[in-house]
Chains A and B, each alone.
Chain A
Amino acid sequence: MMWLDTIVQGILLGGLYALFAAGLSLVFGIMRLVNLAHGDLIVLAAFLILVLVTALGLNPFVAALVAIPVMFALGFALQYLVLNRTLGPDILPPLLVTFGLSIVIQNALLERFSADSRRVSAGALETASLQLGPINIGTMPLLTFLSAIAVIVGLNLIFYRTSLGRAFRATSDDRVTAGLMGIRPDRIFAIATGLAMVVVTIAALYLGTRANFDPTIGPARLVYAFEAVIIGGLGSFWGTLAGGIIIGVAQTAGASINPEWQILAGHIAFLLVLLARPRGLFPRAVD
């Protein structure tokens, strides 16, 4: 039954990667912007939660609730004041500015928090688990996975059932005509990035409570997130979840053979999917 356990743990890990990836997918879907600082923003949010937990003695889940509006505001301001200026036909400015931002966030965190590993304590939840037949499922991994599903359902509802979602899609289709509808694209983009930061904060909650983190681990999270998005197919949130699960299962399977192969196995799974399906598993019809 080892293999079944490996797959289940991999799927649950995939939930975490889907959370990393959903924000990236959202922002790319709307404004074709790849934020190279995405991973570092997750780490930044994890440190914010850590500070709230240690300084105010909050429960990590409450701390995340407090962090959400802060991160939304940060995302909104970042997009409105900085990233909107970089959007255009040339892909270099957004890439280079977000790459610079990644370096800035990493080193600001190093300066403030040092390179020590940290962890947000979730109390008894950390060790709690459910016994399902032969398989032991950790409560935190399960919560992570359920949160990923909730986030994706929520994003789909916003995207396809609300006026804001229509504005997202319309702006993504045609910015000038969206303006004729009374939509302010720069504000829509800022809201989108703010929303992505809300998802980032939820991801950070689980990143911080499930394992150790330090200021330098952001870029690796960005790479996992990116792989999940590409595997899933650009613009599909459920595809992003599938992509996260594939990376998660590949990593857990790799690690079960040799712990040193965990990350490598994830990357190789990504390259194999890229080989077979260059546009991902669930590409959007309109691209």
Chain B
Amino acid sequence: MALLETRRLTAFYGDFQALFGVDVALDAGETVAIIGANGAGKSTLLRSISGVLANGADQVLFEGRPVGALPAPEIVALGIAMVPEGRRLFPSLSVEENLLIGRYGRAVAGAWSLEGVYDLFPILKERRRNPGTALSGGQQQMVAIGRALMSNPRVLLCDEISLGLAPVVIKDIYAAFPRIRAAGASIVIVEQDIGQALKVADRVYCMMEGRITLSGRPSEIGRDDIHAAYFGTKTP
């Protein structure tokens, strides 16, 4: 049984349907990447899983339990933490407070604590008294990841963490992922940077227009397949 899976997941923004029956699965210990063009529904998928958007209860299963209709705070309590798109640090909180608030809804013992996060991203310790928003983009992204880790999640959802960052900074941030995996979190990353996604993921899903168009192991899928699944230029 998968740790986390979606079954025929549909999602709407008012009258607008953004997801049309999406099936993805994440096994324990796995890292899965979801790629696709802008507006393909990747972020909507993460927002649905994390409870920001409400869905049908049995459209999202966590350890076989229906959780699709639960609001975000209850999802966090179950151990699914999200690094939201655009980082979304709290401007009124310092770096350290931003990290601490990650434990608000789920304060469990585990690999991640303030020390653990500072060890992972040492620069944050130096800047822990600064307001979160006074940091560079890459440092802000580290805070956002650290904040999600503070709840010692079983599943970490990362939405577009490389967006707007310089390649060297992206490399730094992804360098932390092996340790995050080693500490026991299963990971879903949403990426537009296909190269980066293929590098860290065990499996890849490609989305287009609210549907999954391709899935498989990075080693098994070729560039042409991805191109087709990404842009729909040719029938797979």
Contact = CB atoms under 8 A, between A and B. Distances in A.
B82 A180 contact: yes
Nearest to A182: B105
B92 A169 contact: yes
A204 to B, nearest CB: 30
Given A166-B97, A167-B104, A182 B88 contact: no
A174 B102 CA distance: 14
A8 B66 CA distance: 65
B151 interface: yes
Given A163-B100, A166-B104, A167-B104, A180 B90 contact: no
A182 B52 CA distance: 11
A182 B104 contact: yes
Nearest to A172: B92
Contacts of B73: 179, 182-184
Interface string B34-70: 0000000000000000111000000000000000000
Given A180-B72, A180-B82, A169 B90 contact: yes
Interface string A158-181: 000001001101101110111111
B101 interface: yes
A169 B104 CA distance: 13
B51 to A, nearest CB: 7
B97 A181 contact: no
Interface of A: 163, 166-167, 169-170, 172-174, 176-184, 286
Interface of B: 50-52, 71-73, 76-77, 81-82, 84, 88, 90-93, 97, 100-102, 104-106, 131, 147, 151
Given A177-B90, A180-B84, A182-B104, 18 more contacts: A163-B100, A169-B90, A169-B97, A170-B92, A173-B90, A173-B91, A173-B92, A174-B88, A174-B90, A177-B88, A178-B90, A180-B72, A180-B81, A181-B76, A182-B73, A182-B76, A183-B101, A184-B71
